[in-house]
Amino acid sequence: MNLSGWLVVPLLFFIIIEVLGYLFGGAFGVMALYSLLFTPLFFGQFFLIYVCNFLYAEANSWVSEVERMEWGLNPMYSIWLFENDKRRWALEATIATALLTILFGTLFLYLMTRGVASFEGSLAGFLVSSAFLALVALSWYEGFWKPRTREAKFEADEEFTEEKETAEEEYYSPYKFS
């Protein structure tokens, strides 16, 4: 599916939610409010993560020279991934941004609509808007990031695997005399 196809699906979904919300109100109104907040919040947080990673990568130029980096709560992992494998970085940033959007958007809307919207309306709005956000996030990654990046192949992974196989062969060799 090309970029225009990935843009049409969430846009149609968004228009349907907004029209239903403004026509019928109630639970549909809460759905419209949630989706109206989730979309700019998602793109704003993604942009913020992008800018932060870009600035940290510029300030730490040595990151591009590192061949292999493990995650393990390493604060430089995201920056290293941004510099070395943009496709994987975009996938992880999209997932993290979607989860943060759901968390902060729900908290913000709870504080705004406390006592105004019913629990059922808020729950329906949350569920439909979360599905909408998942569609937006998938479209953002598949339609925008994936075609513009290439999959990185790390030579360090291949060398590490070859060294491990060679070491195992030497260790388990029947001709080894020690």
Which residues are CB-contacts of 127 (< 8 A; sequence separation ≥ 6)? none
pLDDT of residue 132: 85
Half-sphere exposure in the Cβ direction for 167 (13 Å, CA)? 6
pLDDT tens sequence across 22-76: 787 777 777 788 888 888 898 899 999 999 999 999 999 898 888 888 877 888 9
**d(C-alpha 111, C-alpha 114), whole Å:** 6
Structure token digits, residue 39? 């979309």
Q: What is the mean pLDDT of residues 12-24?
A: 80
Domain chopping of the chain, boundaries: 3-171
pLDDT tens sequence across 78-136: 999 998 888 889 899 999 999 999 899 888 888 877 777 777 777 877 888 888 888 88
pTM of the full predicted structure? Answer: 0.72
pLDDT of residue 107: 87
